[in-house]
Structures are given as C-alpha cells and as structure tokens.
Amino acid sequence: MFPAERIKSHLDRLRNVLACDPKIDKASLLAKAVERVRDLKQRAAGVGEAAPAHLFPTEHDEIVVLASGSGAVFEASVCCDDRSDLLPDLIETLRALRLRTLRAEMATLGGRVRNVLVLARDVADGGVVVTGDDDGYGGRAADSVGATDGANGTGGDFLKEALRALVERPGAAGDRPKRRRVSGMNMQAAA
C-alpha cells in the first residue's frame, strides 16, 4: 500500500468514527478529531472523580454491611479475590438468607472484585414489601404491617457472617491467577 492510500484510509476511518460528512476537508476533520480526543480526556478524568472510591476493589478482603433503621433494607459491600464461583455462591447465599437484590454494582481490578449490593428482605420472609421505583434501578422497601425481625436480627450481623463465610470459602479447584500463557516456542525466541 502506498503512503497516499494509507493516509486516505486513515482519514476515511476518522470520518466513520466521528460520523462526519464524507466530503469534509482534511483540516476540519483533524480539528474535529482533536476536539473529540480532548472531550474524551475530560470525560475520562471526570469518571475517576465522579465514581465513588468505595466502588473500587482494595488489596485486602473487606465486608461492610449497613442496615436501615428498620433492618429491612441493607447495603452490603464485599471485596475479595475474584474467582469463577464467586457470583453463583453469592446468589445462593442471598437466596438462602431470603434476601432480594434491589441494586448491584460490581467492579474488578487486578484479580480483585468488589460487589456493592442493596438488599431487602424477601416478601415471603414477612420483613419487607418491595414496590416499584421510578428510577429504574429496582425498588424501594417498606415495612409490612406486623412484621417481626425473627431470628435474622435487624443489624445485618447475619448477613455479614454469611458474606464472611463466602469470602473465606476456598475457590474452585481450577481457579488460579490468570496469567498469560507462554508456549515453548515463544520462550525459545525470547532467549
């Protein structure tokens, strides 16, 4: 491919990415590309500032459970090593505790994962009635009439202990830190 053809293909690709008119001149196209890159840099910087620091995983295992005043709604944050059976085990644990997920956020970084969950006691538990919410994220919880806390308590200790057992449980036998495979041929070429 000749240099002129290569430059033309790059300019065509820029026109497609920026959704520009195919007849736009090179200078205007490059000005739009520079403007778009600056805009993306500002947005990327804003993401780090706008995202709550508690969403990113830390280097140590951490379990935090906050309960509402009535003990019907909980916010739980679990930070631990990522493993293939973590989410299925988490779902199973929440079902066993008869908790319903109203909102869930998950972030992974360097083999670590943080799950931030907003949970409510299931309707069948008698602890909460979950109704729709306008924001599209799930629901809002309201105490049902005559609800009792039962054996689960209101402080969220039962949830914290269950999540601690989940985090401390050994992972699946096949789980190992994900590392890039290096074949024998690549090793010989590197030597």
Annotate 167-180 with three-state secondary structure.
HHCCCCCCCCCCCC
Asked if residue 159 and residue 75 are part of one domain, the reply reads yes
pLDDT recorded at residue 76: 93
Q: Report pLDDT digits (tens) over 80-95.
A: 999 999 999 999 999 9
Nearest 10 degrees: Cα torsion 141, 147, 151, 152? 10
Quote the pLDDT of residue 164.
94
Residues 80 and 130 in one domain: yes
* Global model pTM greater than 0.75: no
What CA–CA distance (Å, rounded) separates 114 from 116?
Answer: 7
Are residue 155 and residue 97 in the same domain, yes or no? Answer: yes
Instruction: Say whether both 163 and 80 belong to one domain.
Output: yes
Pair 17, 43 in one domain:
yes
Q: Residue 7 has which token pair?
A: 């430059």
- Which residues span the domain enclosing 11? 3-50
Residue 79 burial by Cβ neighbours in a 10 Å radius (0-12, 13-18, 19+): buried
Whether residue 20 lies inside any domain: the answer is yes
Q: Based on the fold, state whether residues 29 and 121 are members of the same structural domain.
A: no
**14, 67: one domain:** no
Rounded to whole angstroms, the Cα distance separating 106 from 85 reads 15
Q: State the pLDDT confidence band at 132, using cuts at 50, 70 and 90.
A: very low
Residue 55 lies in a domain: no
Do 26 and 71 lie in one domain? The reply is no
Helix pair 26-50, 3-18: axis angle to 10 deg: 50
Residues 110, 28 share a domain: no
107 in a domain, yes or no?
yes
Quick check: 152 pLDDT over 90? no
How many domains is the chain built from? 2
| Range 69-74 average pLDDT | 82
User: Is residue 56, in this structure, part of any structural domain at all?
Assistant: no
For the chain, the average pLDDT equals 76
N- to C-terminal Cα separation, the chain = 34
Q: What is the pLDDT of residues 6-58, one digit of tens each?
A: 999 998 998 888 888 888 899 999 999 999 999 888 887 776 565 565 678 88
